Structure 1
Amino acid sequence: MDSGEPYPSTTPRPAGFTTTMKAFTSLIAVFVIAQLIGTVLFGLYLHMKVDKVGDEISLREDFVFLRRLQKCRKPQYSDATFLDCAKILSSFQDLLQDQKSKIPQESLLAKRTGDKRQAASIHLAGCKSSKRVLQWKRSPYAPMDNDTFSYQDGKIKVGKRGRYYIYSQVAFCTKPETHAPFSLYVYLNLPSEADQLLLKGVGTHATSYDLCSLQSIHVGRAVELQEGHVIFVNVTNSSRVNYDHGYTYFGMFELS
């Protein structure tokens, strides 16, 4: 054998085989990428689904709790149910207290103010009469709470116990020849006792020679009254009273 003879050359690979390998590799890469994208999308969908199921479970738990609470509040279920009603009711009370503690104090104050009942009041205008106890009538646009006050024969009757402010004004004519002062009195009428004087006002006599020198007396104060108490006004001489609109009036209102 001749040692100088060259080794036989390697047989070259066909061009078709190389193209096939590249196409297969590309296909594998595309498949892997698609698999990754699909996995990510499925993970997001699964996460959203779990959250939704969790919310539904939470709502169902609330519904079940309300059903249990409803059964525990019905007397017919108190003996027939196996529920621990004492524990359920206690949990419900704790929940209410927790929610109340979260409400701002300003909101509670606004709610109390909004729900507060308006103070009862009555305002009457003078009505001409020869009686010593002055008579009155409803005044235009003036309030009168019939649940708290009633009026009859010159007297206001209080319908409930409370603290009230009483006021009255009487306008009157005074003449130089009349030397006796004109007086206004507000009384509390008690059936089994003597009338108690609550307010008194005194006017002076005129210094001019006019036919009628117009003057007025105004009195007012806060009092504590009981249900059934009666208030009335009288004067020394009702013939001198001026009953023109806005001059002579009598009223009271409830203090908060």
Structure 2
Amino acid sequence: MDLNEPYSPTTPRPAGTTVTMKTFLYLTITFVIAQLVGVVLYGLYLHMKLDKVEDEMNLREDFLFLRRLQKCLKPQDAGATLLDCSAILNTFQELQGRSSDVPQKSPIVMQKGEKPTASIHLAGFKDSSQPVSVLQWTEAVYAPSDDAFSYQGGKLKVTRGGRYYIYAQVTFCVKSLLHAPFSVYMYLHLPSETDQLLLKGVRTPGRSDNICSLQSVHLGRVIELQQGHTVFINVTDSSKVNYDHGNTYFGMFELSERNL
């Protein structure tokens, strides 16, 4: 080595070469990650596809088994078929035995001595333009009705004792500037006794400016009734009652021990 040779430092790499290498490295890493994600997604797709194919194969096997069983159960086909009907029938009997071992949900059955519950629903009925002391009713469309009740003259009678829920709604029309309250009363009628007030509902309407303003009063309670007890409803002014469909109704239903 010549000591007199001038020293020259290492020539630095161009900046463009470094940027190119970094870009290539990033692209390579991105490509590898994309490949890995694609492989994972494709694996999931194949797994779901295989599960679906397996389910379809199971359904096809079940269908084929039922077809074979159907042929073996037909007397005219049992002798002509090449199927091993004895093995198929034995498999079917084993399946029946397994299903009988599974505890079944017992249906709700009526216990001995338990009577069925009764119910009735009536719709308001206007049979006179004159005010009446007791509101009149008629059987509502598609509503339950039971022989445990009898109806006459606006009064609903129970033919067997029990615990009942009684309900009623009375809708009335207000065409007055006065603030007169409208009251609804539910009475229990007992033979040879004074009628007993079961429920009372009161509503005081506001101003209506001679336009029919509909208001409703709803009543309901549980009561113990004896055979022959009768329930009826009256109001302060029956001429204001609105009898449009669904506005005014009256009914009751018996509560069984399961409801208590």
Q: TM-score, normalised by structure 2?
A: 0.54
Aligned to 1:135: 136
Q: Take 1:244 and 1:110, find their aligned partners in 2: how far apart are those partners? A: 39
Q: Do the aligned residues in 2 keep the contact of 1:133 with 1:232 (CA within 8 Å)? A: yes
Output the amino acid matched with 2:140.
S
Task: Check 1:153–1:210 CA distance in 2 against 1; reply closer, same or farther (3 A cut).
Answer: same
Aligned to 1:224: 224
Q: Do the aligned residues in 2 keep the contact of 1:175 with 1:212 (CA within 8 Å)? A: yes
Output the amino acid matched with 1:135.
Q
Larger mean Cα displacement after TM superposition, 193-202 or 168-177 = 168-177
For residues 14-58 of structure 1, the C-alpha deviation after alignment (integer angstroms, 9 at most, x for no partner) is: xxxxxxxxxxxxxxxxxxxxxxxxxxxxxxxxxxxxxxxxxxxxx
Aligned to 1:152: 152
Secondary structure in structure 1 of the residue aligned to 2:164: strand
Q: Do the aligned residues in 2 keep the contact of 1:164 with 1:253 (CA within 8 Å)? A: yes
Q: Do the aligned residues in 2 keep the contact of 1:172 with 1:241 (CA within 8 Å)? A: yes
Q: Do the aligned residues in 2 keep the contact of 1:120 with 1:254 (CA within 8 Å)? A: yes
Q: Take 1:193 and 1:114, find their aligned partners in 2: how far apart are those partners? A: 36
Q: Take 1:174 and 1:252, find their aligned partners in 2: how far apart are those partners? A: 28
How far does residue 212 in structure 1 lie from its aligned partner after superposition? Answer: 1.1
Secondary structure in structure 2 of the residue aligned to 1:242: coil
RMSD: 2.4
Task: Check 1:120–1:112 CA distance in 2 against 1; reply closer, same or farther (3 A cut).
Answer: closer
Task: Check 1:116–1:141 CA distance in 2 against 1; reply closer, same or farther (3 A cut).
Answer: farther
Mapping for residues 4-43 of structure 1, pairs under 5 Å: none
Secondary structure in structure 1 of the residue aligned to 2:206: coil
Aligned to 1:253: 253
Deviating beyond 6 angstroms after TM superposition, the runs of 4 or more aligned structure 1 residues are: 113-116
Match of 1:122 among 100, 106, 120: 120
Q: Do the aligned residues in 2 keep the contact of 1:175 with 1:205 (CA within 8 Å)? A: no
Task: Check 1:215–1:114 CA distance in 2 against 1; reply closer, same or farther (3 A cut).
Answer: farther
Output the amino acid matched with 2:209.
Y
Output the amino acid matched with 1:133.
V
Secondary structure in structure 1 of the residue aligned to 2:133: coil
Identity of paired residues, percent?
Answer: 63
Q: Take 2:233 and 2:152, find their aligned partners in 1: how far apart are those partners? A: 13
Q: Do the aligned residues in 1 keep the contact of 2:178 with 2:207 (CA within 8 Å)? A: no
Aligned to 1:180: 180
Task: Check 1:190–1:114 CA distance in 2 against 1; reply closer, same or farther (3 A cut).
Answer: closer
Query: Which structure would you say has the larger Rg?
Result: 1
Task: Check 1:119–1:111 CA distance in 2 against 1; reply closer, same or farther (3 A cut).
Answer: closer
Output the amino acid matched with 2:166.
I
Q: Do the aligned residues in 2 keep the contact of 1:175 with 1:206 (CA within 8 Å)? A: no
Task: Check 1:112–1:118 CA distance in 2 against 1; reply closer, same or farther (3 A cut).
Answer: closer
Q: Take 2:248 and 2:134, find their aligned partners in 1: how far apart are those partners? A: 13
Output the amino acid matched with 2:120.
I
Q: Do the aligned residues in 2 keep the contact of 1:176 with 1:205 (CA within 8 Å)? A: no
